[in-house]
């Protein structure tokens, strides 16, 4: 009888994951717009390149926007919607206030460029434009290129309340990371690969100062941190530092999307607890070691992971639409 219950529980969990991540995957395909807006990828790529040439912040801002969007209510561009008098949207939850404006601007400008083509106007979703822009900034930063599955519709709701408890925190343990990613159909391997987005970008000091000043009563500095790196962080983030100060997340190649992220972890130079735990926990350590020395293996795993991420919570015509303005509902 116990075996039957276990099997039934497994089937229920599988169905939940299917509904959240897989039910609408059939509509996604790289050539979705072939007969609708055939030049959409080139249009978005040109806009992203222009924005990239204006500021490198475009890269981490766009990647982070995509991640925050997909992890809350699925990849439906709901994170881009602005709050109104009657609704506080996702972007105004405290966990999203640090999303750089350049990510939003990239999507909005790409949407305008797409809609400037008469045959494409109001036919390409903001969610798809964000997915394409994410791939494009990764390539511009030296990361791998990959085919982007398309066919998402934009979400019909966006609320700050939906963000709570749905984004990984810098203090997370491996178990907490695995649990949150697994609930979205992503494996531990996917989670480790996606964590390498921290190869580019910035962090405010407040996100990690506990590791360099008050980690514990016996160890003010997190012992898993390389001592020299800890002193470097203290120099850049002194006590009572201006909360607007941000530093590079990758101390070695901060403007290149690469496997140096994993090499840094091996050396005790992961900025967040949730970064360094990938090396200190024996269950994930081998993967970190492998990717630290094999960029091709990492790139392949990352492509698999970000493709799976792009399938999370995809909306269809039944529960979504093509938003005319990415920042507001039709």
Out of 68, 93, 198, 204, which one is annotated catalytic? 68
Q: Map tokens 């963000």 to a residue.
A: 163
299 has which bridge partners? none
Q: Which two tokens stand for residue 185?
A: 């159909």
d(CA 200, CA 219): 29
H/E stretch holding 248: strand 246-248
Instruction: Of 184, 177, 170, 191, give the one whose Cα is nearest residue 75.
Output: 184
Q: Angle between the 273-280 and 282-293 helix axes, to the nearest 10 degrees?
A: 90
d(CA 51, CA 67): 19
Strand ranges inside 52-109, DSSP E? none
Kind of pairing, strands 246-248 and 202-204?
antiparallel
d(CA 215, CA 221): 6
SS3 320: strand
Within 10 Å of residue 40's Cβ, how many Cβ atoms?
A: 23
d(CA 172, CA 216): 16
SS3 106: helix
Instruction: Of 85, 88, 133, 122, give the one whose Cα is nearest residue 326.
Output: 122
Q: Map tokens 């405290």 to a residue.
A: 94
68 is known as an active-site residue:
yes
Q: What is the dihedral of CA 322, 45, 31, 128, to 10 degrees?
A: -30
Residues 6+ apart with CB under 8 A from 280: 224
H/E stretch holding 262: helix 260-266
Q: What amino acid positions are annotated as catalytic residues?
A: 68
């Amino acid at each position: 009888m116990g075996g039957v219950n276990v099997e039934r529980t497994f089937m229920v969990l599988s169905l939940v994951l299917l509904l959240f991540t897989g039910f609408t995957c059939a509509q996604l395909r790289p050539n979705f717009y072939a007969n609708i807006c055939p030049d959409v990828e080139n249009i978005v790529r040109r806009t992203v390149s222009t924005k990239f040439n204006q500021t490198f912040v475009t890269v981490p801002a766009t990647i982070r926007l995509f991640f925050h969007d997909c992890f809350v209510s699925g990849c439906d561009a709901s994170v881009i919607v602005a709050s109104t008098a009657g609704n506080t949207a996702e972007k105004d939850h405290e966990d999203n206030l640090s999303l750089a404006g350049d990510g939003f601007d990239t999507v909005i400008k790409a949407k305008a460029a797409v809609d400037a083509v008469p045959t494409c106007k109001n036919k390409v979703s903001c969610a798809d434009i964000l997915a394409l822009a994410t791939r494009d900034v990764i390539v511009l930063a030296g990361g791998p290129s990959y085919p982007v599955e398309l066919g998402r519709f934009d979400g019909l709701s966006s609320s700050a309340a939906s963000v709570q408890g749905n984004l990984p925190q810098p203090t997370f343990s491996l178990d907490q990371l695995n649990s949150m990613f697994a609930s979205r159909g992503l494996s531990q391997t996917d989670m480790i690969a996606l964590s390498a987005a921290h190869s580019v970008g910035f962090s405010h000091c407040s996100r990690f100062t506990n590791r360099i000043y008050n980690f514990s009563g016996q160890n003010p500095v997190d012992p898993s941190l390389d001592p020299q790196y800890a002193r470097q962080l203290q120099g850049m983030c002194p006590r009572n530092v201006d909360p607007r100060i941000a530093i590079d997340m990758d101390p070695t190649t901060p403007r290149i999307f690469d496997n140096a992220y994993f090499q840094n972890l091996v050396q005790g130079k992961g900025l967040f607890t949730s970064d360094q735990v990938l090396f200190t926990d024996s269950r994930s350590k081998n993967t970190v070691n492998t990717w630290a020395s094999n960029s091709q293996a990492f790139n392949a795993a990352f492509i698999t992971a970000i493709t799976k991420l792009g399938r999370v919570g995809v909306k269809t015509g039944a529960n979504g639409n093509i938003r005319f303005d990415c920042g507001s509902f039709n």
